[in-house]
Amino acid sequence: MDARLRFDFSGFSASRVGEEGLMPKEVSAFEKRALAELDRLAEERRGGLHPYLDLPYQERSVAEVLDVAERVRGRFRNFVLLGIGGSALGNRMLHTALRGPHWNLAPPPGHPRLFVLDNVDPVHVGEILDLCDPGETFYNVVSKSGGTAETLAQFLLVRDLLEKKVGPRYGEHLLVTTDPESGPLREIAKREGYATLPVPPGVGGRFSVFSPVGLLSAAATGIDVRACLRGASAMDARCRAEDLAGNAALLHATLHFLLLTARRKTIFVSYLYSERLRDLGEWTRQLIGESVGKPAAGGFAGATPVVSIGVTDQHSQQQLYVEGPNDKAFTVIQVERFPRDLPIPARWSDLAEAEYLGGKTFARLFEAERAGAEFALIEARRPTCRITFPEVSPEAIGEYVHFMEVSVVLLCRYLGVDPFNQPGVESSKDATRALLGRKGTEKRRAEIEARAKSDAGWRI
Ligand code: PA5
């Protein structure tokens, strides 16, 4: 059996979903443009403009990460990641997929529990810090810019805690992952002599999971990060094919672009049939949302990414998906092999509703649910494609990450937006700093306060 990810885009076609789908001639009319964008990507990559695509080949950096990870594993009971957004979501995604959501309840001996803060909700942060004795805990502070308020606040709190509880050698419990040259965290790490790992230049938060940002926590919990990178590099080769019908990332981007602009499918749903892939959905959501949603010539570009979990959301969102507005493009993610299965015992043979389940297995039921839900979407003329993971393995995760990064960058190019910036995120970061009284932001603060007063009221 093919061990690679497989893609079935036939459910986006007019022959499956009628006029809500795409005609072969519309897709072939776009082929020249698609291949030109692929060429441009390759050309820019040769010029050093896409360093995230080369992360699977950074052997020295991986060796350095593995070295630190081994030391952490031998010494600490907890690994706490201080960071947010692209400096946290990839860590959680790798962990949930490859270690499982319940890892912390019983990690194997010699492996740390992993906690990813990804917020400044005081209850959430307090609960995690309470669970981790600082004397047994390693804290990885991750921020590309080094100036994100959430991460700095988490760090200020943890540093204080460590100094009080661990004493003068508290720095041994800390590692800062940040820009190699600049930013406040780099300055602090230099001043206070903390160990550091670099976020490679030109690699932005949501594209950084295969840099030290995402790899250290994964390696510390024993994930085979080299296998993830092998999967990514295998997909890299597939994503270079100059053939629209044979290049999954190019076709995925092209079909989504056409569905968005020619069929008004403005919501992209990732429908994941695997609990372990739940956070892969969250990672995908950020990659699409933050890369694509921007002003473009003639208006605003973007699609709203949504995450659904099968079969749970069959009993929550499926009604809307099948009979609500036809404004969505669905990507169903199917897993073929599960490392375990559970039998469904046969009983009550006289009751038709129970009888047919007996003797089947949970994997078979899960698969039938996936096939049934997908059929219902197609029957209701909702464009639906499918990505098949042979299994949830490090290689498959690596393939998916690389595939999705290339696809999203191509989609941004079609839409005429910059995949790598996030001015909307920066403006909220600036507003927060102004509201908290950062020096030099007085004018911004006055603007925010004036705006709050000049609305229509409607407060109860
Ligand atoms: O993807 C992105 O660029 C963002 O989500 C950032 O990762 C997030 O805002 C955190 O930024 P930083 O890593 O600079 O702290």
Reported as a single tens digit per residue, the pLDDT across 85-116 is 999 999 999 999 999 999 999 999 999 999 99
Q: How far apart are CA 200 and CA 213, in angstroms?
A: 9
Judge contact between 217 and 81, C-beta under 8 A: yes
Q: Which atom of ligand 1 is nearest to the CA of 148?
A: 15
Q: Are residues 294 and 317 in the same domain?
A: yes
Residue 49 has what DSSP assignment? S
Q: Kindly state whether residues 197 and 127 are assigned to the same domain.
A: yes
Q: Quick one: 71 and 195 in the same domain?
A: yes
Domain-located, residue 32:
yes
* Residue type for position 192: E
Instruction: Specify if 432 maps to a domain.
Output: no
Residues labelled as active-site residues:
290, 315, 429
205 lines ligand 1 (CB under 6 A): yes
- Residue-wise pLDDT for 360-369, tens only, equals 999 999 999 9
- For residue 453, tell me if it sits in a domain: no
| Bridging pattern class, strands 299-301 and 304-309 | unpaired
DSSP element (H, E) containing 62: helix 59-75
CA of 385 to the centre of ligand 1 (A): 30
Rounded Cα–Cα distance for residues 75 and 359 (Å)? 47
> Residue 207 domain-assigned?
yes
Q: State the closest ligand 1 atom to the C-alpha of 204, by its place in the atom list counted from 1.
A: 3
Based on the fold, state whether residues 141 and 256 are members of the same structural domain: no
Number of domains in the chain: 2
In this prediction, residue 18 carries a pLDDT of 98
Residue with tokens 């005081």: 122
Could you give the C-alpha distances from 422 to 86, 157, 429, 458, in angstroms and in order? 11, 27, 11, 32
Q: Are 24 and 60 found together in one domain?
A: no
**Do residues 285 and 305 lie in contact, with contact meaning Cβ atoms separated by under 8 Å?**
yes
Does ligand 1 lie within 6 Å of residue 145's CB atom?
A: yes
Classify residue 314 by burial, with Cβ atoms within 10 Å: 0-12, 13-18, 19+: buried
- Same-domain check for residues 119 and 96: yes
Instruction: Specify the residue with its C-alpha closest to ligand 1, atom 2.
Output: 205
Integer angstrom CA distances of residue 135 from 106, 145, 165, 212: 20, 28, 7, 24
Expressed in angstroms and rounded, the spacing between residue 86 Cα and the centre of ligand 1 is 5
pLDDT, one tens digit for every residue, the chain (460 residues): 577 999 999 999 999 999 999 999 999 999 999 999 999 999 999 999 999 999 999 999 999 999 999 999 989 999 999 999 999 999 999 999 999 999 999 999 999 999 999 999 999 999 999 999 999 999 999 999 999 999 999 999 999 999 999 999 999 999 999 999 999 999 999 999 999 999 999 999 999 999 999 999 999 999 999 999 999 999 999 999 999 999 999 999 999 999 999 999 999 999 999 999 999 999 999 999 999 999 998 889 999 999 999 999 999 999 999 999 999 999 999 999 999 999 999 999 999 999 999 999 999 999 999 999 999 999 999 999 999 999 999 999 999 999 999 999 999 999 999 999 999 888 888 889 899 999 999 999 998 888 877 777 788 8
Q: Is residue 425 part of a domain?
A: no
Span from the CA of 228 to the centroid of ligand 1 (angstroms): 22
Question: 222 lies in a domain?
Answer: yes
Is the distance from the beta carbon of residue 148 to the nearest atom of ligand 1 less than 6 Å? yes
Q: How many CB atoms lie within 10 A of CB 243?
A: 12
Domain of residue 142, CATH code: 3.40.50.10490
- Please check whether residues 59 and 128 belong to one and the same domain: yes
**Alpha-carbon Rg of the chain, whole angstroms?**
24
- Please indicate, yes or no, whether residues 303 and 411 belong to a single structural domain of this protein: yes
Phi-psi region at 222: left, alpha or beta (left = phi > 0; alpha = psi -120 to 50):
left
Q: What number does the ligand 1 atom closest to the CA of 425 have?
A: 9
The domain in which residue 164 lies consists of 53-226
Same domain, 100 and 182: yes
Q: Do 250 and 154 belong to one domain?
A: no
Asked if the structure places residue 239 within a domain, the reply is yes
